Structure formats: structure tokens, C-alpha cells
Amino acid sequence: MDKKNWKGWLYLLPAILFLGFFLVYPLVDVFIYSFEEGYNSASQTYFGTGLYNYSYVLHDPYFLQAVENTFILVLITVPVSTGVALLISMGLSSIKPLRDLYQTIYFLPYVTNTLAVGLVFMILFKKTAYTDGLINLMLSWFGGNAIDFIDGPYPAKMFVLCFYTIWVVLPFKILILTSALASVNRDYYNAAKVDGTSGFRIFRKITLPMISPMIFYLVITGFIGAFKAYSDAVALFGTDLNAAGMNTIVGYVYDMLYGNSGGYPSYASAAAIILFAIVLTITCINLLISRKKVHYV
Amino acid sequence: MTELEKKGFSHNFIQSIVLYPEKMDEGRILKQIDFRFPVYYEGMKAMKLGCPTKVKSRRYTVCDRKNKEKTMKVILQNLTKKFPGRSKNGPKEIAAVDDFSFEIPDGKLIGLLGPSGCGKSTTLNLLCGLQKPTSGKIFFGEEDVTDLPAEKRGVGVVFQNYALYPHLTVKQNILFPLENLKGAQKLSKAEMMEKANEAARLVQIDDLMERKPSELSGGQQQRVAIARALVKRPRVLLLDEPLSNLDARLRLQTREEIRRIQRETKITTIFVTHDQEEAMSISDEIVVMKQGVIQQTGRPQEVYDAPVNLFVAKFLGTPPINVFQGRIKGQKLYIGEEVIMETKDLPDQEVFVGVRPEGFVLSKDGSFSCELKGVEVMGRDISVVCANRASVNPTIRAIISAENKVDASRALVRFTLKPGKVFVFHKETQERICFLKD
């Protein structure tokens, strides 16, 4: 080893210590807890080791409900939000007047507090004894029956949750995609135009490949973000998500640690590790697909 | 007009059939006919020549360039493009191209030349249809293309940065324009490949077809861009600063290459450059522009030998022309206090005198004396750097043959000036007043 190397390590030391204490150590710890049955964090004791925690979690109907909810949320919101964001940013980059105004408007949700947004959604969607809510009012114009989106049937609740999630993640995606679109050299479009390329073909053959790294980034972070969804559900349906049947995996982990049924760090750890495994698998699949579809130039 | 002419046959072709029917074998007819047009096909039936089986199986074939009037002259008529002014106090509109009238002969290579910001690229954009002129007209041959969108003009453009699609291979890049064809023009896969291969062979990149643009050198990318522009057999080829991204050695090579390709394809080609050497070396004609206005057009040597004004004189030639304050008095041209030469029939006035570097001849009893500053040896010839109080620039450069010996320790050198290399320009208008020939 080079003699001067110790200096490099010295410079890295603060970061390594910091990350070690607060990131690596807890990760390893969670992994260990997930195999320790009935771990008690106060007394630091447990009954034995094994796969019991996993077995319990995987047989818990609440967990299965949470997994189902999370998957539905991910599979709907990630493609839809990315697609809508792409449409909006294409629109934004093709208009000139009022572009800055629109950009600001579309970015506003990003700087708005999640819970505040949740409150607004509640007002829009919730049906109370006094009012059916704004959305139901609009539905009634078209002859629809009033639906309770917040405490009503499962599809209605899932619809609100997806709608809410898409709305919240949209601004960031629009921001990224507008800048990606702006960075595509105009000459490519000019060249295509001179060659008589149709608008759709320009989009499919030039625009999409050119911004594919950014789309890929958004899909990966979108997947991870959606798998970790929790606060959105709380903002809409309150803290007792299990009762509402709208829990997510992260919500389940939280409940196991601190909720009404809290005090089970072992189950929480097992659920967290399962979530980790799911996210890892999905990300790996994404990476494999991206090798063919994403063009880094 | 005969029946056949109505059907789209050229006059010469009909005549040759009528005069020498026995000589018109299948191969010759195939050569004459562009099978992309159904009229030819029907015309053949009408003539009872029968359709060669080869034609039946292939609806389209690469036409024989030599017999087809594919290339054409380009006419610009009072072309003007104005942009809204940016600054509040400045003019409301800025004319990037101002009343541009010019005819580009069929099948020639034309260099649009001027300093940056003179409207060259705008002219190119107007020609290819990416921008609409404020007024004026553009004709390709007989056809008015002013209001045609870019894709219908049949132009090929090579952009300054080549604009090769980085995610596509060379082959896919060249195929791209062909894949856009729709309806009756649509080609089969094999036909597209044939055309792409032909274009690739023309620019000698047929062994690089599977590479990505990032794996090519600058010169190779340039060739791919040219191949992509040529693959649809454009009526006019436009090149925007084609050599500016290449290093010096490659630039020389590539400009010869462009010349060769243009000669082979005979496509009317217009290329834009700010490098006068580049433009002079390969163009059939050059158009010198300044602030959107054509200064002079003509063959490179003609323009160099007879610049119409001081701007053109300064812009062409390396090293640049030497400019002096001078005056005409009593039919004699003075630089400083020295009489340079006799003039004829010119009123007394203050003038600018331009002398090409190669217009100096060392002479012991020469009429023009300069303070010697140094001698640069360049092998073939030497460059004498000197100063004169009347000179507009601090130094004067004279290029003389290396056979001359210049004693660098001398303080003064004397020259006589070659009359054909001396131009006199009006002090205010900067127009050339006269030639000083013997």
C-alpha cells in the first residue's frame, strides 16, 4: 500500500464513522432483529432465533393487505405519473408565452406540505353528514351517485390514494423532464424536420431515447418512493390505517413499532427486510430492462 | 407537346426513341427512366415496349443520375429576413439577410462566406425551410419553394455539429431519412439498404455501418452526416460550417473529399463558412456577405483579384491585405510622402490603398520605403514584417520568394509594388476606385 494512503483514509474518517454509526450499524441490527424471536428493546432480550418472525408477518392478514395496497399503488402511480409528467413537460417546452407562470404553478405542489395537501383532498373527497364534498357534487352533475371516497368502498379509497400520490410526485418529475427536454440539442429536431420526420416519430425515435436516462432515473426513484409510501395514506385516512384497510408496508412497520399494536421490533424488522428484498428485486429488474432501452451518450 | 411529353418523358428521350428505335434496348430504357414515377411506367405500356420483368419485381430503382435532371439551379429573389430587435434603444428590427438576390448555377459548389453574424446561417436556414423569409422568394429550378415546408423541399442538410443521432448506429442514421418516406414513396427494406449502402460507399464509410457516432472520429462523423444528407438524393445540399469542428490536417483532407463528392453527385451544393481559405479552395463561386448584404459574388480568384470594396479585400487572403492611408494628387498616388505610382483620370482625393502581401517586390531603388522590423522564414517564401507611418495596422506583411536575401540588420527596406496587387478605395464609401494596372 502506498505510504501516503493513510492521509486519504484520515480525510474519509468522519464520513465513514458517521455513516457507520447511523446507517450501516442500524441496517445490520435490523437484519439481526428480524431473526430474533420476541426481541425486547428495553430489556435487550429475546427467546430464540429463527425464521418465526418472517412466518408471522407473512401470515398476518394486515401485512398481506399492506403488500397488496403497496403494489397497487406502485403499479398505478409510477407509470401514470411518469407519463403525465412527460406529457405536461412536452407541453411546457412547446409553449412560449406564460411558460414561466405554468412552470411555477406545476411546481407548487412540491413545496406544499403533504398533510396540508391531504387536508385539501379530504375536503374535496370526504362525505360527511353535512356535505357530500366537492367531487361528489361534480359527480352528481353527471348523474352519478355520491360515493364516500374516504370511508367508503375499497376501490374508491384506492383511487383517492393513487390520485393523491400522483399529484404529489408530479412536480418533481415535471421539473426533471422539462430540463431534460430543454437539454436536447435543437439541431436533432432540425435535422429530423428537414428529413420530413413525423411528430410522433420524432418523439419516439429522438426525444424518448435522448431523455431516456432521465426517465429511467424517475422510474427507479419513483418505484422506490412509492414502495416507501406511508405519509400519503396517513394524510388521507388517518393513523389507523389497518382499520381503514389502506395500510402500506412502511405503515405496517411503523404500526409494529409504535402503533396501537406496537412494541414488536422483531416483526417490524422482518417486514422491513421483506420490503428491502422487494425493492431490491424490482430495482434489479429495472436495471436489466434499462440496459436495452436507456441510451447514455 | 406530344402525348409522351405530357406523360413526363423528356424531349431528348422521345427523340431518341423516334430516331433510333432499334437502338433502344431494355437496358438503355431502364437507364433513362426514373421508375419512381408511375407516368413512366404507363408511358412504356403506351409505347408497347412492354415492361421488362426486372421492373415488375422492383417498383423503384435507383435512378441514373447522369440522365436525370435531379440537380437544379437555386434562385434567391430579394430575400429578406428580419428579426425583432432585442435592445430597447436599438432598432426595432434587425435584418439578418437583407435584399438578397443571387442565382446559384446548376450543379455547382457555392461558398457563402462572411464573418460571424453576417447572416450566412440564416440564409442557409431560409434555403432549407427551417425559417420563413420576411419577404422575397426562393426558387429551386422553376419551382417556387418559398412557402414549402422543409420536408417537401428535397434538401439535404449537414449541420455544423453534424446532429447525428447518438443512440443510433451509422446505418440507422443513414436509413433515418428513408424510413420517413410515406405512401407511394415508401421503400422496401432491401431498397432502403441498397440506397444507404450506396451513400455510404460514396463517402467511404461502408465499413463503419454498425458503429455508434461516438465511436467515430470527427472526420468520419462528418462523412456519416454527408451520407445521411445525400441518401434521399436531395435537389440541393446545404453544409453549415462543415469543417469547423475538424483539426487542421483533417480539414484539408475533408474539403477535398467534399469537393469530390460534389463532383460525383453533381448536386447543387451551398456551404457556409467564415474561413475564406476554405471557401476559396473548393468553391466554384463564392458569395461574400457582410451584415446580411451581399458584397460580391464571383469565382474565388476573380473576387480575390478584384475586390469591390475594402471589406472584401480585407476579408479574403492570408496574410490579410495591407491597408494604407494615401491620397491622389496630380494623377499620382501617394502613400505618406512617397509617390507609389501613376494614376489616370482620377480627381485629387484622400484614399485607402490596399496592397496584397504578395504585391511587394524588393528593390534597391524602390519608391516605397518601410522600417524593417523582422523577417520570418517560412521555407517556400519569407515574410518581411515592417512598419510604415501611413499604414492603418501597426505592421505590414510582405511575402516574397525565399530566393531573396533580406538583411535583417538593415533599418530600411525598399519595395516597388506590383500594380495588379494594389487597390485604391474611396475614403468614405470604401468602394474600390480603380485598379492600378500598367
pLDDT in tens, A105-163: 888 888 888 888 888 888 888 877 777 778 888 888 887 777 788 888 899 889 999 99
The residues, ordered by sequence, that sit 6+ positions from A117 with a Cβ below 8 Å of its Cβ are A109, A164, A167, A168, A235
Q: Which residues of chain A have pLDDT under 50?
A: none
Look at residue B425 and tell me whether its pLDDT is greater than 80.
yes
The 3-class SS string of chain A reads CCCCHHHHHHHHHHHHHHHHHHHHHHHHHHHHHCCEECCECCCCECCEECCHHHHHHHHCHHHHHHHHHHHHHHHHHHHHHHHHHHHHHHHHHHCCCCHHHHHHHHHHHHHCCHHHHHHHHHHHHCCCCCCCCHHHHHHHHCCCCCCCCCCCCHHHHHHHHHHHHHHHHHHHHHHHHHHHHHCCCHHHHHHHHHCCCCHHHHHHHHHHHHHHHHHHHHHHHHHHHHHCCCHHHHHHHCCCHHHHCCCCHHHHHHHHHHCCCCCCHHHHHHHHHHHHHHHHHHHHHHHHHHHHHCCCC
Q: Is A209 on the interface with B (CB under 8 A)?
A: yes
What 3-state DSSP class applies to B277? helix
Region B180-193: mean pLDDT is 85
- Residue B293 to chain A, least CA–CA distance (Å): 25
DSSP B177-226: HHHT--GGG---HHHHHHHHHHHHHHTT-TT-TTS-GGGS-HHHHHHHHH
Question: CB of A127 within 8 A of CB of A148?
Answer: yes
Q: Is A183 on the interface with B (CB under 8 A)?
A: no
Nearest to B180 among A185, A190, A201 (CB): A201
Distance CA B370, CA B413 (A): 5
Kindly determine whether residue B177 and residue A195, on different chains, have CB atoms separated by under 8 Å.
yes
Between chain A and chain B, the number of residue pairs with CB atoms below 8 A apart is: 58
For residue B216 the three cell numbers come to 467515430
Best mutation site among A195, A201, A210, A291 for testing chain B: the one with the most B CBs within 10 Å? A195
Task: Over range B31-45, report the average pLDDT.
Answer: 47
Q: How distant, in Å, are the alpha carbons of B71, B268, B291 from that of B107?
A: 6, 4, 27
For the CA atoms of B199, B201, B204, B205, what is the dihedral angle to 10 degrees?
Answer: 70
ipTM above 0.85, yes or no: no
A193 to B177: CB separation less than 8 angstroms, yes or no: no
Question: Are A210 and B167 an interchain contact pair (Cβ–Cβ within 8 Å)?
Answer: yes
In the predicted model, is pLDDT for residue B332 greater than 90? no
pLDDT of residue A261: 62
pLDDT computed for residue B6 by the predictor: 60
| CB-CB under 8 Å, A210 with B176 | no
**Is the pLDDT assigned to residue B357 strictly greater than 50?**
yes
Q: What letter would DSSP give residue B321? A: P
pLDDT for res B73 = 84
In chain B, residues with a C-beta closer than 8 Å to the C-beta of A184 are none
Contact B386, B371 (CB under 8 A): yes
Q: Considering only alpha carbons, which residue of chain B is nearest residue A188?
A: B163
- Distances B147 to B129, B135, B153, B379 between C-alpha atoms, Å: 8, 11, 10, 54
Minimal CA–CA distance to A283: which of A212, A224, A240? A224
Is there a contact between B165 and A201 if contact means CB atoms under 8 Å apart? no
Please state the rounded mean pLDDT for residues B67-85.
76
pLDDT, one tens digit per residue, over B162-172 is 899 999 999 99
Which residues 6+ apart lie within 8 Å of B69 measured at CB? B10, B141
pLDDT of residue B292: 86
For the whole model, what pTM was predicted?
Answer: 0.74
- Core vs surface per residue A253-287: b (16+ CB within 10 A) or e: bbbbbebeeeebbbbbbbbbbbbeebbeebbeebe
Mean per-residue pLDDT of chain B: 81
Give the closest of B150, B156, B167 to A193, CB-based.
Answer: B150
Q: Provide the pLDDT confidence category of residue B45 given band limits of 50, 70 and 90.
A: very low
**Closest Cα in chain A to B162:** A187
State the nearest Cα–Cα gap between A212 and chain B, in angstroms. Answer: 10
Chain A residues touching residue B165 (CB < 8 angstroms): 188, 205-206, 209
| CB contact (8 A) between residue A205 and residue B128 | no
DSSP state of B47: T
For B230-287, the pLDDT digits (tens) are 898 888 999 988 888 888 888 888 888 888 888 888 889 998 988 888 888 889 999 9
Q: Which residues contact B423 (CB under 8 A, 6 or more apart)?
A: B307, B313, B321, B353, B354, B355, B432, B435, B436
- Helix then strand then coil, in percent of chain B rounded to 5, is 30, 30, 40
Q: In chain A, what residues touch B177 (CB-CB under 8 Å)? A: 195-196
Nearest CB to B180: which of A195, A295, A297?
A195
Per-residue pLDDT tens for B137-160? 999 888 888 888 888 888 899 988
Mutate to test the interface with A, among B165, B172, B212 (most CBs of A within 10 A): B165
Q: Does the beta carbon of A97 lie under 8 angstroms from any beta carbon of chain B? A: no
Residue numbers in A near B129 (CB within 8 A): 194
Residue B214: list chain A partners with CB under 8 A: 297
Rounded to whole angstroms, the Cα distance separating B186 from B60 reads 10
A194 closest CB neighbour out of B155, B161, B181: B155
Q: Is the pLDDT of residue B14 over 90?
A: no
Tell me which chain A residue has its CA closest to the CA of residue B229.
Answer: A195
Question: Which residues of chain A make contact with B130, given a CB cutoff of 8 A?
Answer: 190, 193-194
Q: Give the separation between CA B326 and CA B287, rounded to whole angstroms.
A: 29
CB of A194 within 8 Å of any CB in chain B?
yes
End-to-end CA distance of chain A, in Å?
36
Summarize pLDDT for B362-413 with one digit per residue, the tens.
888 888 888 888 888 888 888 999 988 888 888 999 998 888 777 777 788 8
Determine the residue of chain B that is closest to A209 in CA distance. Answer: B167
pLDDT at residue A218, rounded to an integer: 94
Give A-chain residues touching B185 at CB under 8 angstroms: none
> So what's the pLDDT on residue B435?
63
What local confidence, expressed as pLDDT, does residue A213 receive? 92
Instruction: Report pLDDT for B65.
Output: 38
Q: Pick the residue with more confidence: A174 or B56?
A: A174
Q: Nearest CA to CA, how far is A289 from chain B (Å)?
A: 16
pLDDT of amino acid B287: 92
